[in-house]
């Protein structure tokens, strides 16, 4: 059954289609990369780790929504798309060899993907009435944690066994800095959109009724 808030403020069809398409293509590309690592340019780049972690991350929001939010709020399509895109673009970038062919592509990915994950976290955990300071704080708290977690996973998955480990420290500092900058940009953009009355159905935000029972937010 369609949620009341979703009917009142329908999610753009393009967002839904992009989200579904990104998930399907992600699974297909990961399957191809596992079967033919040289085709996906993921040899010695943690292909198995990516094949496990990326689908788990991409399907976390649908699972959580189905188990806990389904009866109370509409599906957060935009936040889910932002999370899925971070996984999809990494695999796509490796598939068409952009990491090796374009010198700035890795930096761009750290900036954009950390920012998109932070944006998703903001949309999923903060109300639109949140202050600018609270929005920046949430973005940096989540983004810094995500960026550090990625660097640790990247190191243990493949860098520790490659020639890149000798220059990894400098690269890691640059990646963390770019990731934090991406988080700040994401926070500023989302807060500005909220102030303009946009992103009204971007997340499953709930209100409490006079008898303290959670109900879907309808504006």
Distance CA 139, CA 129 (A): 15
Sign of CA dihedral 153, 154, 156, 157: positive
Mean pLDDT of the chain: 80
30-52 per-residue burial string, b: 16 or more CB within 10 A, e: under 16? beebeeeeeebbbeebbbeebbe
The pLDDT tens digits of the residues spanning 117-139 come to: 999 999 999 988 899 999 999 99
The pLDDT tens digits of the residues spanning 92-115 come to: 998 888 988 998 998 999 999 999
What's residue 218's pLDDT? 36
Distance CA 173, CA 140 (A): 16
* Residue 43 lies in domain: 4-216
Instruction: Write phi, then psi, for 72 (nearest 5 degrees).
Output: -120, -15
**Diameter over CA atoms, the chain:** 62
Q: Does residue 189 have a pLDDT over 70? A: yes
For 8-163, list the strands marked E by DSSP.
none
Distance CA 79, CA 16 (A): 11
Cα distances (angstroms) measured from residue 19 to each of 16, 177, 207: 5, 28, 26
Query: How would you class 13 by CB atoms within 10 Å of its CB: exposed for 0-12, middle for 13-18, buried for 19 or more?
Result: exposed
The pTM is what?
Answer: 0.79
Distance CA 80, CA 59 (A): 8
Per the structure, the count of domains in the chain is 1
53, 90 Cβ separation under 8 angstroms: no
Distance CA 55, CA 64 (A): 14
215, β-bridge pairs: 207
138, 127 Cβ separation under 8 angstroms: no
Mean pLDDT value of segment 193-213: 62
Instruction: Write phi, then psi, for 17 (nearest 5 degrees).
Output: -65, -40
Q: Does residue 11 have a pLDDT over 70? A: no
What's residue 169's pLDDT? 56
């Amino acid at each position: 059954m369609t949620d009341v808030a979703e009917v009142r403020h329908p999610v753009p069809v393009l967002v839904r289609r992009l989200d579904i398409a990104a998930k399907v293509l992600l699974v297909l590309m990961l399957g191809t990369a596992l079967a033919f690592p040289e085709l996906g340019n993921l040899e010695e780049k943690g292909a198995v780790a990516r094949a496990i972690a990326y689908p788990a991350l991409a399907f976390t929001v649908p699972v959580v929504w189905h188990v806990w939010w389904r009866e109370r709020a509409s599906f957060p399509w935009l936040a889910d798309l932002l999370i899925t895109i971070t996984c999809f673009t990494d695999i796509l970038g490796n598939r068409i060899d952009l990491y090796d062919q374009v010198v700035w592509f890795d930096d761009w990915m750290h900036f954009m993907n950390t920012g998109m994950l932070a944006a998703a976290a903001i949309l999923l955990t903060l109300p639109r009435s949140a202050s600018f300071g609270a929005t920046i704080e949430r973005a940096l708290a989540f983004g810094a944690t995500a960026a550090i977690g990625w660097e640790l996973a990247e190191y243990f998955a493949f860098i520790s066994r490659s020639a890149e480990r000798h220059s990894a420290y400098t690269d890691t500092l640059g990646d963390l800095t770019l990731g934090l900058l991406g988080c700040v940009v994401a926070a500023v953009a989302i807060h500005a959109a909220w102030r303009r009355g946009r992103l009204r159905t971007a997340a499953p935000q709930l209100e409490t009724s006079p008898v303290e029972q959670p109900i879907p937010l309808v504006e």
